C-alpha cells in the first residue's frame, strides 16, 4: 500500500489541556462539516466562537483542514454532545453541511 506524502494544511483551536488527538478525547468524538470555500471564514468564526464562548460546554475544540475543492471543519466534543448536535442542526449555512460524526472510543 502506498500513501501520498503531502503536508496537511490546517488550523486547530482546542481548550486548554485537550490535544487534537483522538486519545485526548477518547470519551468524545467529532462532527465533520464540508464547507464551500467562499463560506469558510464565516462558518469557521461561528465554530470558534461556540468553542471560546462556552455556550456549549460539550465543545472541546475545532479543526479546519484544507481539501482540494472545499474545507473540512471538525467540531470536537467530550462525552456530552447532545447540545453540540442540536446547535449544528439549528444552523442555516447554505454552503456547509454536516457529513459525518465519529466517536473516538475504540479508535
Quick: pLDDT tens for 29-68. Answer: 999 999 887 888 899 998 898 888 877 778 899 999 887 7
Sheet containing 29-36: order of strands: 10-14, 59-66, 70-77, 29-36, 96-103
| Res. 73 pLDDT band, cuts 50 70 90 | very high
Q: How far apart are CA 77 and CA 58, in angstroms?
A: 5
93 torsion bin: left (phi>0), alpha (psi -120 to 50), beta (else): beta
Cα angle 17, 18, 24; round to 5: 125
Backbone angles phi, psi at 40, to 5 degrees: -60, -45
Amino acid at each position: 500500500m502506498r500513501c501520498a506524502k503531502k503536508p496537511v494544511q490546517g488550523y486547530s483551536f482546542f481548550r486548554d489541556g485537550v490535544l487534537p488527538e483522538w486519545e485526548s478525547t477518547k470519551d468524545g468524538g467529532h462532527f465533520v462539516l464540508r464547507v464551500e470555500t467562499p463560506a469558510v471564514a464565516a462558518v469557521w468564526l461561528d465554530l470558534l466562537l461556540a468553542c471560546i464562548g462556552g455556550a456549549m460546554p460539550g465543545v472541546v475544540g475545532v479543526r479546519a483542514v484544507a481539501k482540494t475543492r472545499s474545507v473540512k471543519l471538525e467540531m470536537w466534543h467530550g462525552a456530552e454532545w447532545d447540545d453540540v448536535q442540536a446547535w449544528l442542526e439549528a444552523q442555516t449555512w447554505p454552503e456547509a453541511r454536516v457529513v459525518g460524526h465519529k466517536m473516538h472510543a475504540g479508535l
